[in-house]
Structure 1
Amino acid sequence: MTLMTPQLTKADRKVLKKLLKKSKQLPGGYIPINRHAESEQKYYLNHLWKEKLIWDATLPGTPETINGITPYNAVLPSPDGLHYFEKYREYKREQFLSGIVWPIIVATITSLIANMPNWLPWLIKLLK
C-alpha cells in the first residue's frame, strides 16, 4: 500500500499548520483572508488550494454575490487538509521502513545464511 500525500515544501507545511491552528480558534473554521493584498502567503495559499488542502469559502453573513461575482473572502481547510499531517507522518514512516529498516533486516538474514557454514559447526559444538 502506497500512501500518496501532496508534495509540499517546508514553507507550505508551515502555512498549512498556521491555517489549521487558526481554523480551530475561529467559529466554523472560516479563516478570513484578503485576496487583493500582495503577500508572500498568497503564493502558498494558491499552492494549498491547487493541492485541494483548502477550499475557497464565503464568510457567513456576507452576500452570496456582489455584482454577479462570488466574493471568496475566506478559506476553509478541506478534509484532506485537516488530516494532511497524519497522512504525511504515515507516508514518512512507510518510506523509512521500506527504505532503511527492511533492507537492513534482509541484509542481516542473508549474511547469516551465507555465513552458516562458518558458524554452524561451532554452534553445534557449543550446544553439545
Structure 2
Amino acid sequence: MNLLIIALSTLVALEFFFIMYLETFATKSSRTAKTFSMSKDDLANEKINTLLKNQGIYNGLIGVGIFYLLIFTQNYNGGLLAIMFYIILVALYGAFSSGNKAIFFKQGSLAVIVAVLLLIQMMM
C-alpha cells in the first residue's frame, strides 16, 4: 500500500505543477482559458493575469510540499494527510464558490483516494 500512496501522491504533485504551469507560465493560452472557463480577453486583463500567476505559485508549492515529504522525510504520513485534506477543502471551496462541481472531481479526487489510503495505513 505504501508504494500506491507514493505513486498517487506523485500524481497529485504533478497535477498541481501542471496547474501552476497553466496559471503562471501559460497564463494567456487557449488551454488555460478552456481549463478555467475564461475567455482570452479575461486572461489578457493584467489584474486577472497577476492574480492567476500568484495563485499558480501557491499551487506549485503544494507540489513541492508533497515531493519534500516523500523524498526528505521518513514518516511522511501525517504531513501528507494534512496536505491532502487541504487540497480536498480547496477543491470543495472551488467547486461550490464557482458553481462548477466538476472542479472538485478534477482537483480533489486523487487527494481523496490518497487521504483514505493514508487513514487506512495509519489505522493498521
TM-score normalised by L of structure 2:
0.29
TM-score normalised by L of structure 1:
0.29
Greater share of residues in helix = 2
Tell which structure's C-alpha radius of gyration is larger.
Answer: 1
Greater share of residues in strand = 1
Query: Which has the higher relative contact order, 1 or 2, with Cα contacts under 8 A spaced 6 or more apart?
Result: 2
